[in-house]
Structure 1
Amino acid sequence: MLILCVDDDRMVREITGDLLRELGHEVIEVADATSALEYLRHGDEPIDLLLTDVRMPNMTGYALARKAIEQRPSLHVVYMTGQEEGVSAPGHVLRKPCTLGRLESVLTHIERLQSAA
């Protein structure tokens, strides 16, 4: 699976990218929503999943997901957050820091959805 990983915190983004690669996925890491949308607009690769932080400067992960899905309607989205409560999102939400096992579980579920479609 090719995953676009978006987080404004460089360390979190790099660690998450490393975990995703350890699970056998290809990863494109970007630091903000604008860069992610630009990549989706001009990139030729078929991105399978958008993994985005919820709270980022200039645009939330929710707003990014809405715009990304407008560009690529079949795109799956997983949200990441450090908040303990009050996060409600359509789809999967991972709490940061995320364990390898939890990440693998969510990605396996999404892969099953993709293969069923």
Structure 2
Amino acid sequence: MARVLIADDEESVRLMVARALALDGHQTVTAEDGAEALDILNRDRRSFDLLLTDIKMPIMDGIALALAAASGFPKLTILLMTGFADQRERTSGLDAIVHDVIAKPFSVEDIRAAVADALAAQR
């Protein structure tokens, strides 16, 4: 299955998403913010199939992370998550690097389906 990097500053969201994706056999690694996620991407020798990141986070937000990840890892599929309408608007123009934006709150089924869709589009 896929290897997924989850970046979200809310621990409960990171844990719920990691558990949901584990149901489908995916391996997950989590980060508390964009800077930590970018560090993981840069230092981890095993590649990731998907980056799933919140937009609004401290230190480095999800859009800055997506731009850096797309530049350094062009084959990486990127999904953004947000609970804020104004943050969703910031994603306009990122269609070339972002597969989709998932609205929070979401159910376990919603996140599993969004990840499955993103991974299927990657193939």
Same fold (TM over 0.5): yes
Task: State the structure with bigger RCO (CA 8 A, min sep 6), 1 or 2.
Answer: 2
Structure 1 runs of 4+ aligned residues shifted over 4 Å read none
TM-score normalised by the chain length of structure 1: 0.89
Q: Aligned pair count?
A: 114
Amino acid at match of 2:107: T
Query: SS at 2:4's partner residue?
Result: strand
**What stretches of structure 2 of length at least 5 have no aligned partner?**
none
Query: SS at 1:52's partner residue?
Result: strand
C-alpha RMSD over aligned residues: 1.3
Percent identity over paired residues: 31
Instruction: Give runs of aligned pairs for residues 106-117 of structure 1, distance below 5 A.
Output: 106-115=114-123
**C-alpha displacement of 1:94:** 1.2
Tell whether the 8 Å contact from 1:2 to 1:49 is kept in structure 2 after alignment. Answer: yes
Query: SS at 1:4's partner residue?
Result: strand
Distance 2:20 2:107 in 1: 9
**What stretches of structure 1 of length at least 5 have no aligned partner?**
none
Amino acid at match of 1:77: I
Tell whether the 8 Å contact from 1:21 to 1:27 is kept in structure 2 after alignment. Answer: yes
**C-alpha displacement of 1:49:** 0.5
**C-alpha displacement of 1:41:** 0.7
Q: What's 2:40 paired with?
A: 39
Q: What's 1:59 paired with?
A: 60
